[in-house]
Amino acid sequence: MKIIDIRTCRTSVPLKKPFKTALRTVFDATSLIVIITYDQDEKSFGEAVPTTVITGETLESIDYAICEVIKPILLGTSLIHYEQIFSAIDRVLIGNTSAKAAIDMAIYDGLAKQARLPLYQYLGGYRNEIETDFTVSVNRPLEMAEDAMQYVTEGFRTLKIKVGKDDIDTDIQRIKRIREKVGPNIRIRLDANQGWTWKEAIVAIRKMESMNIELVEQPVHKEDIEGLRRVTEATDTLIMADESIFRSDDAIKVLEARSCDLINLKLMKSGGIKEALKINRLAEAYGVKCMVGSMIETKLGITAAAHLAASQPNITRYDFDAPLMLTDDLIEGGIIYEGKDISFPLHHGLGIKGVKGV
């Protein structure tokens, strides 16, 4: 299949409830949708979201990177040479991982369509069902306990609790209230989004260990690989690297230093599926399991992430609640949610049929 056109369009959907972390508060899911058209009357889809505080990109920078830098290189190229396509993009564009992710997922969508397989089967097909957690935004402890209980009532069995804002005593209170409210059988994972120093992290995590915490994501600043190692070494709880690892060179540093027990892969950080697969392989070699998560993306980006996640045995955790936080679903086709359970219709590629209003 030969690429004959690439176009982008912007979408925005309000969230049901503001999404709050130690780094930011989000009210709307704003995305750039990419549609690649091929000569054989075929289309493929990708999505990028501007998470400026994490990747440094804006909607405008993503649009520019795709339309002005990547598009001229890709027009007229064939998917048969897809490794050449990825190399050519990396030669002309440094960083810009979300812009690259949108193009990468659209190319993988095209490759799987060409192979006449659902993407997760094209990539390895390890599972055909996965279960997502649900995120509790960082707020006052009692409000968080109420939110947590609501999600448990809706059927979620794993909660991802945002902490790392205010002081560690407040964070300990947050988890205490939530654990009291939801009982002992709900899995609780934390995400501090770089909000603690390594000393604070060790103190806080040790105090919370009696509350049965599954894992803690990114306790310390993303550059503090030594601090991350100290936290991993000094606590019994599993420590997951998120913002510290964008691409495989970051993964090598963190894995070599034995700074984490787990890695959170996100397409918007890695620049897409190709690089996420590479990080996952590195992690697997070090005996480190991966989760796949996302930014605040629509069902399009999450469909690509979920296909990746289902394809690999070393990817064992799934954080795909973002589409469930939106007031409207603009994406026709893709993965199917039944509460916490995600399944994959046997359509070729990502199975995206279209985007409302586009």
Candidates 160, 266, 269, 340; catalytic one: 266
Q: Tokens standing for 113?
A: 């369509």
Q: How many residues in the shown chain lie near Mg ion by CB under 5 A?
A: 3
Q: Which stretch binds Mg ion (CB under 5 A): 33-41, 50-58, 123-131, 213-221?
A: 213-221
Using an 8 Å Cβ cutoff, are 49 and 301 in contact?
Answer: yes
For Mg ion, what does the binding mask look like between residues 285 and 304, x meaning CB under 5 A? --------------------
Distance CA(81)–CA(85), nearest Å, equals 7
DSSP 66-77: IIIIIHHHHTT-
Calpha distance 126→277 (Å, rounded): 14
CB of 75 to Mg ion, least distance (A): 36
Q: Applying CB under 5 A, which part among 43-51, 144-152, 198-206, 212-220 lies near Mg ion?
A: 212-220
Q: Residue type for 8, please?
A: T
CB of 218 to Mg ion, least distance (A): 5
Q: Which is nearer to Mg ion, 1 or 225 (CB)?
A: 225
Piece in contact with Mg ion (CB under 5 A), picked from 94-102, 160-168, 236-244, 325-333: 236-244
302 close to 101: Cβ distance less than 8 angstroms: no
Based on the shown chain and the rule CB under 5 A, indicate whether residue 242 belongs to the binding site for Mg ion: yes
- 51-86 in b/e form (b: 16+ CB < 10 A) is beebbebebebbbebbbeebbebbeeeebeebeebb
Work out whether 319 is an interface residue with Mg ion (CB under 5 A): no
User: Which of 217, 275, 297, 321 contacts Mg ion by CB under 5 A?
Assistant: 217
| CA-based nearest residue to 71, from 41, 32, 117, 40 | 32
**Does the annotation count 266 as an active-site position?**
yes
Q: How far is the CB of 43 from Mg ion (least distance, A)?
A: 32
DSSP one-letter code for 161: E
Show the tokens assigned to 341: 């359970």
> 113, 162, 269, 274: which one is catalytic?
162
Point out which span in 104-112, 189-197, 226-234, 280-288 binds Mg ion (CB under 5 A).
189-197
The binder of Mg ion chosen from 63, 147, 191, 250 (CB under 5 A): 191
Binding mask 132-171 for Mg ion (x = CB under 5 A): ----------------------------------------
Residue closer to Mg ion by CB (options 38, 318) is 318
Of 247 and 347, which CB lies nearer to Mg ion in the complex structure?
247
Q: Which residues of 149-175 are buried (b: 16+ CB within 10 A; e: fewer)?
A: bebbeeebbbbbbbbbbeebeebbbbb
C-alpha span between 136 and 5 (Å, rounded): 40
Please report which helix (H) or strand (E) contains residue 92, including its range. helix 82-92
Distance between CA 152 and CA 129 in Å, rounded?
20
275 interacts with Mg ion by CB under 5 A: no
Smallest gap from residue 335 Cβ to Mg ion (A): 21
Q: Which stretch binds Mg ion (CB under 5 A): 150-158, 166-174, 242-250, 302-310?
A: 242-250
353 tagged catalytic:
no
- Closest contact distance (angstroms) between CB of 149 and Mg ion is 23
Q: Which amino acid is at 329?
A: D
Please give the single-letter amino acid code of residue 137: S
Instruction: Write out the catalytic residue numbers.
Output: 162, 266
Residues that bind Mg ion (CB under 5 A): 191, 217, 242
